[in-house]
Amino acid sequence: MGFLDTLFKKPYRVVDPDEAKEAMERGAVLLDVRESHEWRSGHAPKARHIPLSQLSTRAKELPRNREILVVCRSGNRSARAARMLAAQRTDVANIKGGMGAWVRHGHPVVAKGGGPGRVA
C-alpha cells in the first residue's frame, strides 16, 4: 500500500447490498441515515432510522457489540455517517450505492406501517 493509499484509506468497510444482507442475517444492524420523509416512503425491513443530522447525538442508541451497516439513498450521506461512527468504533460499513442499489439487487423495501415501499 502506497502513501496515497494510506492517506485516503477509509476508516470503514464498503459493502454491496448482497454483502450487507448476509451481514444482517448474521446479526449486523442496518442504520438508515436518510431524512424522515425518505424513510417513511420506503426502507429496508428491520432497519433502524437515525437521520444523519441527529447521528452525533444519537449514536449511543446503537448496540456496541454488533456491526453497523450504514445506508442512505445513494451512499454519500451514509459515507459521512460511517466516517463519523468509525471514529468511535471499528465495526462499521457503508453500503455502496445506497437504497437505490439495495432495490436494484432485489432486496425488499417497506413503507412506514409495513406495506410496500419505494425509495424516495
Task: Please indicate whether residue 95 is annotated as part of the active site.
Answer: no
Q: Which domains does the chain have, with CATH numbers?
A: 12-104 (3.40.250.10)
**Residue labelled with grid coordinates 444482517:** 24
pLDDT at 1 over 60: no
Residues in the chain: 120
Copy the grid coordinates of residue 116: 410496500
| pLDDT tens per residue across span 2-48 | 554 444 568 899 999 999 999 999 999 999 999 999 999 999 999 99
Task: Supply the pLDDT for residue 112.
Answer: 82
Helix, strand, coil percentages (3-state) for the chain, rounded to 5, are 40, 15, 45
Q: pLDDT band at 114, cuts 50/70/90?
A: confident
Of residues 24, 47, 71, 72, which has the active-site annotation?
A: 72
Q: pLDDT band at 109, cuts 50/70/90?
A: very high
| pLDDT tens per residue across span 48-85 | 999 999 999 999 999 999 999 999 999 999 999 999 99
Task: Supply the pLDDT for residue 11.
Answer: 87
